[in-house]
Structure 1
Amino acid sequence: MATSDDYRDVPTSTLSRLAQRLGKVYASTSTWYRLMRQYNWRRPRKRVHPPKPKIGIRAASPNELWHIDATLIRLLDGSKIYLHAD
């Protein structure tokens, strides 16, 4: 469970409590850290997210694609305004 790809995004301390809850291992968090150091277990550190696309959106002619950005601004009196920019 400590070196599984299924739990690579779960911290070791949380993983120890999860294993206890699932009934797989009954050991404290400090025991997990000690055993990981002792046996040189390494957690997988692979990228979880897919790679970013190399080429973005391309327009074939002018004014074919438009983009509008909306930002919420909170004022001091508690009201909100929206700023739209294109």
Structure 2
Amino acid sequence: MPKDTQPDYHPVVFRDRAAGYAFLTRSTATSEQTIDWDDGETYPVVDVEISSESHPFYTGKARTVDTEGRIAAFERRFGESGGA
């Protein structure tokens, strides 16, 4: 097996700017930005748009879609055949 084919796997901080939440994990992701973490070390930081702290599925703020009402409204407007 060839040597040096595996990517660099190192500690990285992922930061969710929307929720003000950050967590330290290991990843192959890289970044030029760094952050000073609680343990006194400096780690690269990767900003993400959504994490478990801000995603509606995990926070319990997900909207439920009333599919039955939408289908009934469609059938009222276009009839049973779908307007064709």
Shorter chain as denominator, the TM-score bin is under 0.3
Larger Rg: 1
Q: TM-score, normalised by structure 1?
A: 0.25
Instruction: Give the structure with the larger helix fraction.
Output: 1
Instruction: Give the structure with the larger strand fraction.
Output: 2
